[in-house]
Structure 1
Amino acid sequence: MKKSQKTVETLSRINLDGTELEYNLKRSSRSTISIMITNTGQVIVSCPLQTPFVYIEKLLFEKERWIVQKLDEIREKPSAIIKKSFNNGDLFYYLGKPYKLKLVENNITQKPKVRFEEELMVLEISETEDKDKIKSFLKNWYKSKAGELLVERIRIYSSLIGLSPKKVAIKEQKTRWGSCSSKGNINLNWKLIMSPLPVLDYVVIHELCHMKEMNHSGNFWGLVEAVMPDYKVYRKWLKENGCNLSIE
């Protein structure tokens, strides 16, 4: 049996853009070299075991502008993306607007319900101390609202564009806001219900246009722009704010 080679990890430094950058260097039996930047700003370089150090530094210098730009974007993002505790005051988004959670114990009705009062998302529930129950209900509530609205927007834009999907599924996708298969089936992420309506519409239009152009060519973006001339604004919003669309 062939013995697998271990991964060797070291912490290295390099001066980029006048600043000393610390990065994690991972050497393994892989055949290619890559640079990854995590959401927390950690730079990771993965490379084959025998890659010369001078080549690693050369690649980092070549990617200097990209690395600096990505790190700046991470620093500029709100640092207050705090894990939800499902207590009063937690921030939740609905159609692009932030609401503070207010828990109200209601033992009369067994079924939890959500209502809005100005800047508050009021959740009436029988057990306000049961955080797992609160999380589960809110997730299902969001999914239900997303299903209703996304199907409605698909219907509106399908009629406008002249393209109708064979099937629409509302899912929880880790890395995508939407997808379109070659069979004409469209998947949409339920978390879109937390974004402003024009952003949600942009994703719907994007996936519908993929039914005609299964790529990101100039023709594809031309189709998107014909329906939504300012789509770049909403595409940028999603890129910059998508990390806030979560109930975790």
Structure 2
Amino acid sequence: MTGPDAFRTALAALDLPPEWQVEVAIRPRRRKTGIQVSPGGGVAVLIPPTAAPEQVARFVAGHRRWITEKVDIATRLDPDHAVKEFGDGEEFDLLGRHYRLQLVEASPAGAAQLPVITSDGVVSARRQRPELVRRAVIGLYQQVGLAWLRREGRQYELDGHITGLSYAVRDLGRRRWGIYEGPPKHTTTLHWAVFGLPLPLIEYVLVHERVTPPSPADAHTAAHGNGGCTSGCRTGNSDGPNSPRSAATPGLATRTRGHHRHAARSCLGSRVRDGRLRSCPTRGPTKV
């Protein structure tokens, strides 16, 4: 089997752009040569063990235009900030405030359990494997976010004459920031990562899910008569001045129009991938 250096030499002769960050990977189970473009623009050439360097070079040269297009897309959609590694000293945003992660062996004095937020802007979490720290921090986001939803949502319920509404915070995948589920559930659910956004944008997501009519009959009217959405709403849709969302919370609906709404649509392109925070659009690898 030919070693990686021979393939690197063959590809170097093609004078590929250095920003492509081309890597070669020999895959014993592959039968054909492939190319993978990852978020950020990195190019990986996936090589079967029986391939010759000259064959691989011809394959890459024949796909040069395709690679150029995909690298451009991947670079434009790359996150502005690094993916969180959940290491000691890393910074997080929660409900509009900045916090620093501190990994500890035991709970600070006066703290019943970890993780815990201290008065000096520190999130203390137990020192353990990064994956377990990540789960603990996500659990904290869910706990704090649910308390915020119940507290802030109460005023919206009173303003909109809404009764019996429940709230939840959980992982909604990579495509939704929030959903409203109509009766009998009558529940507004936000993605836990929403609470890492600035407060006006958190409010925007909450307002966007304000279908929540006060009765099942009104829910049917909102869903079928006024163009409302009672299940699986996606952030970024425009709401007219007479939509159920605007009617339910008129004050906040007005405040979120204009620059807040524009900022929200830009910022809410964010995604969460594999449970890790990213701050701008990203996609999985593109392959050929």
TM-score range, shorter chain: 0.5 to 0.7
| TM-score normalised by structure 1 residue count | 0.57
In structure 1, the partner of 2:145 is 146
Q: Which amino acid aligns with 1:72?
A: R
Q: 2:77 aligns with which of 67, 73, 76?
A: 73
In structure 2, the partner of 1:158 is 157
1:148 Cα deviation after fit: 0.7
Residue 213, structure 1, aligned to residue 228, structure 2: yes
Determine the C-alpha separation between the residues in 2 that align with 1:107 and 1:236: 39
The change in CA–CA distance for 1:162 and 1:98 in structure 2 (over 3 A counts) is same
Q: 2:263 aligns with which of 233, 238, 242?
A: 233
Contact 1:104 1:122 in 2 (8 A): no
Which protein shows a greater Rg?
2
Determine the C-alpha separation between the residues in 2 that align with 1:134 and 1:67: 33
Q: Which amino acid aligns with 2:269?
A: K
Determine the C-alpha separation between the residues in 1 that align with 2:161 and 2:140: 31
Q: Which amino acid aligns with 1:144?
A: Q
The change in CA–CA distance for 1:135 and 1:220 in structure 2 (over 3 A counts) is closer
In structure 2, the partner of 1:178 is 178
Gaps of at least 5 residues in structure 2 are 1-18, 23-35, 44-62, 213-222, 247-252, 280-288
Q: Which has the higher contact order (CA 8 A, sep 6+)?
A: 2
Determine the C-alpha separation between the residues in 2 that align with 1:82 and 1:135: 9
Contact 1:95 1:194 in 2 (8 A): yes
Residue 202, structure 1, aligned to residue 204, structure 2: yes
Q: Which amino acid aligns with 1:186?
A: T
Q: Which amino acid aligns with 2:112?
A: K
| TM-score normalised by structure 2 residue count | 0.51
Gaps of at least 5 residues in structure 1 are 1-18, 23-35, 44-56
Secondary structure at 2:207 match in 1? helix
Aligned residue pairs total 206
Determine the C-alpha separation between the residues in 1 that align with 2:266 and 2:164: 26
Root-mean-square deviation (CA), in Å? 5.1
Secondary structure at 1:186 match in 2? strand
Residue 187, structure 1, aligned to residue 205, structure 2: no
Alignment deviations for residues 57-97 of structure 1 (CA, whole Å, 9 cap, x no partner): 9xx7xxx6x984553231x6224x24213x2x122221233
Secondary structure at 1:116 match in 2? coil
Contact 1:142 1:190 in 2 (8 A): yes
State how 1:41-80 maps to structure 2 within 5 Å: 41=41, 68=72, 71-74=75-78, 77-79=80-82
Instruction: Give % identity.
Output: 18
Contact 2:149 2:167 in 1 (8 A): no
Determine the C-alpha separation between the residues in 2 that align with 1:238 and 1:121: 26
